[in-house]
A and B are shown apart, each in its own frame.
Chain A
């Protein structure tokens, strides 16, 4: 074990110091080939039958990472010097290389050439660092060739001409990436290759074929030094770019140095920045600030980004955690007092892979098979990406994943490369997969480590569980559960028992998930990541493994199960006298569906104990509900639709609005009460580290559109408080029975999102839940499908002294980040669910063009948006075609919210009923969309 001192000169803050580091050279570093006779082969990773071993250059690893991730590339030796250089240049690529190297299925071996006595290379005088590293790579390759002998060919892969030449001179086999991949005879791999910028094809070829396109040149990004000095002086502001989901040419930069958000409007002002990048923005002079006009349905700069038909939104998007006033989507009609700016530089890029498909284009008339195509991402915030591909005809009808490489000033679009295919467009599974990828949902099966944390099946309540002093034996209680039909993961059950003193004992029993999911285990880590179960139309992505969700934790009927119980003593007027919490063992006597429960309650002939309990609970629930409404709880209408799925083809058979019955409301009432009780209990004990849920009050700005619309139809809404709003909504009655519901649906859109938060981060007044009119709220009742409930279970158990509070609660920052992650996952799950519903809607209507009623909900200059109550969807109806736009045939009356024909013959006002025709059309091949037209 030799010892060698190597000198490194480093500069810190301008000061030059000489650093002395030790550098031990070893002779116990092995080559990693299992057939090697000299070395210890216990750590060998190369395959036994390898005929060619590849040694990669740094730039090859940096640029061609997608190629390397493809399983076709194997038997690669990654040198430690290459890994170090990659780590210094690009951490993301480094992580991916490490992932490949540690993957046991891939034959990548990491060779520590810097510490091996024979392959250590000392810097020669006058040699630059890069040259030295290149020399080290060549020496290592040479050593490998000598070491492995003639049976195996050691190939150095490098695109650097100088390196290649020197390697050939030294007798090392060297090839460029392209020639190697060509020799493998796999044309699909060639697509994964990234062309270096210098070899880029002339821009002219690639420009969009439509003649109306102009050549756009972006202003240069300012160099970093200028940006930093500008930031110091306050000319530039730093912040994250948030692109409007519905209008990709509008974006906001939220910066602390400027109180408000800076709007960035227009492609040239956005200057090649992506959503999520950290950018430096310069505020434009006041006269250049962009006024928001009453927008047409988005068309900008000859782009034809049409609005798509989509589901009615449930809330204003992008609800923040803390207060600053935020506008939401670009649909809002706000007089612009916000400063506008343009982006002068990008501080940190947020590029990753995007899923979507290629823009339909005619096949190129033969150019060696390479075609330049434009990739359109599913996420509308991302601009189109230009890629080169050999398999254009193959890919045109597929959903693919593409990664971005660069965005030149001269080029209208960024350049990227193809990574992989998901499946065919329109294929239900592919589209579902796309929905999941887009929303960052992990649908991979649970790893073996996670499954190892489960108790062995078949599982049943054991004598230890029964004898555990913390657990109360409640098997004698008549417990039952009410859930949607076909529900297998039952996480809540109820009981109601009349006490001799006239009061009722009501209990809510929740599945005791934390008994099986312990902090720090792989199961818990996986659940933390997933955050929530995702409900797509045809399937459910579970947060916890199926054995837990459907069997061990699920409170099925006629089996003993472990539960966490909240038990109240209530007067017949539903006043809570006392509440207690305990872990328990229960045995559910019936697992009813909502329909069944409702039927039982309604059937006056039935007098069995379960039905009596149901009726008692129902009356209590009604009283609780009325009290809640008294306090100001809002009842908003949901536009949720439900699908009936054909069991064989999994195609939607029928689509309909979700029916709410009394039974639903009864269960909901008790769940809410349980959540509030638990919230009180945990906050009392852990005022600084409880996980609660709040609903911020919507601002005046957010409610503007609703007020406008309501005013136009003569309804006065008082939005001073939630109670006032609830009352005015009750009084908003119109000509037809659906009017009220419609107003409620519109009100729903103005609401903020409810979010999880850590109680130590905000002050008590901010804990308020606007929608439920409750000062305190949390999620406790569904631990099987929500991780927040698991956390609250742990908090509750600690507050009762049953178990110790896990260490994560002591770290506030970590708790806050967990809450943020839960919010993120919750939002994503919601969006995924809605996207799945939209997808199925499209599939449903594909074969069934329908005529139906619709209500106008928004007026625009060239048409209006309608809402179809029967199917719960919303979309644009155009009155003028694109060609006619601006012809002045129609004009908009803002005050009355009407659109009128110039000659006065026709007019449409808001909330008016119209008849429309719905049908799926394909204006571009492989781009089905649902079109609504007036009849």
Chain B
């Protein structure tokens, strides 16, 4: 059992325990019955021809789980959804990655998958926005676009023979700066319609990568899809924060203290949720940040035990109220 590695006092332990028990009672019974461990056999009606999906194997005609997780049945398909595993990419997922290598005509990104993903030079928008063929000069100038340790947002394009390919053609993708990168277990991030969120009241951007990497940063105009039209104007500036201009743009690149505080709050909120193992959605993050602001909690206290317990209790309430509805 994953323990919460925080020093909790006795009362806090009791409260946390209560909150967790409440959550447990609220959880769907079906799901808990469907939990399996490795080599547990999955009850299957043998007469129906059953498709054995991921996480299952055939042992003497019996369907047996090969991972620990929840059994899901969709029509004829039976598969086991593993919880804490590495990211399983699907085409069209928004992912955030860390550049680890600049190779020939491509960048390799680490995206919490079993291999490193490949971002081809040709899948990137050129800084000047022109759609043209990439020349060798472009190749030599790859570093001016992305370097090692840069955080990049991209979309999964598909599996090629040499691995997973990404593309960053749209304005909303590309290098991310002025913010924090967080790592949470991928299963806490559900696939939704929107992954780019703009928190207006705090002036921060929130990107929930499907691979478990989450970006919280200063709001940069032109990153929103709502302001797509303005992309062409402000994009060059945003996309190219080259070091050469750092002194000149220092004033422009300066993030205010307020914004930074909000960024930190949001990030800590994500951290708390990740520790507790709760789903991470915009709503919940907002709720947590509001909670911390309403209590006038110091930012670093958000990582403390008291806040953790409070979040747990709030979540329990929220879910129960959801259920009643």
Q: Are chains A and B touching directly in their complex (CB below 8 angstroms)? A: no
Residues of B participating in the A interface, judged by any CB pair closer than 8 Å: none
